[in-house]
């Protein structure tokens, strides 16, 4: 059954399935070295207070999250400034599981993008490009997820800088996302791809889940942010509407 979701400006999202691309938040989620711990504390209990309530704390870039430009650029846009329409976007997913299995440091290439287009369609402007590396399957094992070597360097796949420039300049994409903890490869501690995309005020999503369920070409993402005043990013809920 196909349903339709209409917005106030009469745009319509036609969908047959909704996939949640969001990891559940709990104290044991993988967190970047040096980031705040994810913590929950019970404030009230039904038996004692008549209702259940907890408080929680976590980093702005933990869990399934979005990065804002001010995380790398002083004076850059903060997460509370994002326009609502920028948080609803068509998307495509590129599968590089095979390459990532052979090489955890694999970076998406321009050839990968062109090969995807030959098999599917030209990536249209204002699409979000998602990278399915298979790393989402390591989410419950922090050691495997970050895959650090003896020197503490992480090894996980990501977007290549040349491919990202191609997508931004030749395909005018709305942004990028991935199922690892960074759109950059784990070895790139300069965050070059993050900076490249955020400099252009585009979307960066990290720690996505269930990308294996995005087999269709026609996908619309709806990104639910927390409007943290001055925030460098935010945990998000990401829903994929599949036509």
pLDDT tens digits for range 16-39: 999 999 999 999 999 999 999 999
CA distance 52 to 194: 39
pLDDT tens string 62-120? 999 999 999 999 999 999 999 999 999 999 999 999 999 999 999 999 999 999 999 99
- At residue 217, the pLDDT reads 79
- 2 pLDDT higher than 90: no
CA distance 230 to 25: 22
pLDDT tens string 116-162? 999 999 999 999 999 999 999 999 999 999 999 999 999 999 999 99
- 207 pLDDT higher than 50: yes
pTM: 0.95
Tokens of 106: 């694999």
CA distance 136 to 207: 7
- 5 pLDDT higher than 80: no
pLDDT tens string 190-199? 999 999 999 9
């Amino acid at each position: 059954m196909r349903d339709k979701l209409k917005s106030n400006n009469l745009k319509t999202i036609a969908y047959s399935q909704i996939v949640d691309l969001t990891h559940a938040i709990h104290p044991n989620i993988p967190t970047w070295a040096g980031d705040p711990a994810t913590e929950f504390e019970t404030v009230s209990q039904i038996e004692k207070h008549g209702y259940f309530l907890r408080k929680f704390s976590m980093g702005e870039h933990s869990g399934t999250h979005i990065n804002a430009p001010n995380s790398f650029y002083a004076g850059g846009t903060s997460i509370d400034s994002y326009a609502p329409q920028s948080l609803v976007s068509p998307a495509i997913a590129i599968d590089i599981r095979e390459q990532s299995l052979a090489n955890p440091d694999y970076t998406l290439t321009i050839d990968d993008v062109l090969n995807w287009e030959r098999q599917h369609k030209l990536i249209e402007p204002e699409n979000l490009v998602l990278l399915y590396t298979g790393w989402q399957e390591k989410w419950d094992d922090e050691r495997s997820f970050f895959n650090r070597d003896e020197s503490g360097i992480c090894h996980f796949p990501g977007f290549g800088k040349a491919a990202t420039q191609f997508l931004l300049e030749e395909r005018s994409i709305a942004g990028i996302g991935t199922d690892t903890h960074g759109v950059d490869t784990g070895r790139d501690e300069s965050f070059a791809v993050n900076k490249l995309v955020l400099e252009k005020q585009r979307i960066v999503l990290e720690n996505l889940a269930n990308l294996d369920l995005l087999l269709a070409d026609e996908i619309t993402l709806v990104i639910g942010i927390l409007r943290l005043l001055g925030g460098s990013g935010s945990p998000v809920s990401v829903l994929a509407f599949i036509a």
